[in-house]
Amino acid sequence: MSFRVFITRDFDQMSRVAAGIVEADIRGKQAVQDGYVLGLATGNSPTGLYKHLAKAFNEGRLDAGRVRTFNLDEYVGLPGENPQQRCLHCESYSYFMIRELFGLLEGSSFLETNVPWGTLIDQEELVAALAESPEHYELQGADQGKAVVIAEGADGLLGWIKRHVLDDYEAKIKAAGGVDLHIVGVGGRGHVAFHESGIPFRGNRMLLVRLDDSTVGNAVRDGHFPSVEESPRYAISMGAELVYEARTVVLLANGARKTGPVAESVLGGVTYEVPISYGQDYAAAGGNLIYVLDEAAAAEVLARQAEAEAKGCEIVDMRSES
């Protein structure tokens, strides 16, 4: 079992430590293989890491031209008359990645970048298709957030979403050789990407998700959207099963809001109520799982360190290092 938990002082040290781990993995693999596939997350937690990573590419320590990227998720329902407007909306995850990483590269660019194709879907058309064809899908999930599982034989818009938005994205990852390293964050209820709390693991590899009301509410409270009515209600996302097929998963978490979910994922059992807990099965099966936490997010794990170590976690305390 390979499950290491790095404890850092604050956001800045968390970002430096995580960037060092990612850079070392890319450099090591680029020395022995032609390409590299990097999985990316959005949100506040990886923004510092991305600045360090851009510097490594710009200074020539890594070769951006040999890197393909695949993002975890994207909204469905962003404001805009067409896919281009939705893609360029300031709250789209495509726009986020340009601002926080892709646009920071100087004189080089990644071989290819991929963000799930949620902006191709018109939310009003999706809602109408769901209302008209209830026999073509089922909702899965024990809580408010639901996976919209589209049947194999679905036609119309739902069939198109299944084949060309969900299945094709997963197929493209497979054709690239799978993800070498995936950077992920932690949702407030322990979700990874938009694999919401309560959505089953099995079979939900690429998801069309009807978002939890708390997810929508948090997006409004955090200032991303002016009101619940204007916030997207659906998203396209990798599910935990697919995320944790990467050869290495680096999970970042900072702040007190992440303390509980992080502790549950380390100290509790594997449950889809806390989707990041899937990492325990991943590590037990030979995956390389790395947490990089600031002191606040790590508080409960530190308080129960002996228990965490008894479960096979290696705690690496970096707080005294410069």
Q: What is the pTM of this model?
A: 0.97
* Residues across the chain: 322
Separation of alpha carbons 180 and 192, rounded Å: 18
Output the 3-class SS for the chain. Answer: CEEEEEEECCHHHHHHHHHHHHHHHHHHHHCCCCCEEEEECCCCCCHHHHHHHHHHHHCCCCCHHHEEEEECEEEECCCCCCHHHHHCCCCCHHHHHHHHCHHHCCCCCCCEEECCCHHHCCHHHHHHHHHHCHHHEEEECCCCCEEEEECCCCCHHHHHHHHHHHHHHHHHHHHCCCCCEEEECCCCCCCECCECCCCCCCCCCEEEEECCHHHHHHHHHCCCCCCHHHCCCEEEEECHHHHCCCCEEEEEECCHHHHHHHHHHHHCCCCCCCHHHHHHHHHHCCCEEEEEEECCCCHHHHHCHHHHHHCCCEEEECCCCC
Q: Which CATH architecture has domain 2-317?
A: 3-Layer(aba) Sandwich (3.40)
Domains of the chain, by residue range, sit at: 2-317
**pLDDT for position 1:** 65
Separation of alpha carbons 164 and 204, rounded Å: 16
Strands 146-150 and 314-317, bridge-based pairing: unpaired
109 C-beta neighbours (distance < 10 Å), count: 14
Residue 298's nearest CA partner among 17, 1, 2 is 17
Q: What is the pLDDT along the chain (322 residues), one digit of tens a residue?
A: 689 999 999 999 999 999 999 999 999 999 999 999 999 999 999 999 999 999 999 999 999 999 999 999 999 999 999 999 999 999 999 999 999 999 999 999 999 999 999 999 999 999 999 999 999 999 999 999 999 999 999 999 999 999 999 999 999 999 999 999 999 999 888 999 999 999 999 999 999 999 988 888 888 888 899 998 889 999 999 999 999 999 999 999 999 999 999 999 999 999 999 999 999 999 999 999 999 999 999 999 999 999 999 999 999 999 999 8
Q: Give the distance from CA 46 to its chain's centroid.
A: 10
Amino acid letter, residue 96: F
Separation of alpha carbons 311 and 197, rounded Å: 23
Amino acid letter, residue 30: Q
Amino acid letter, residue 105: L
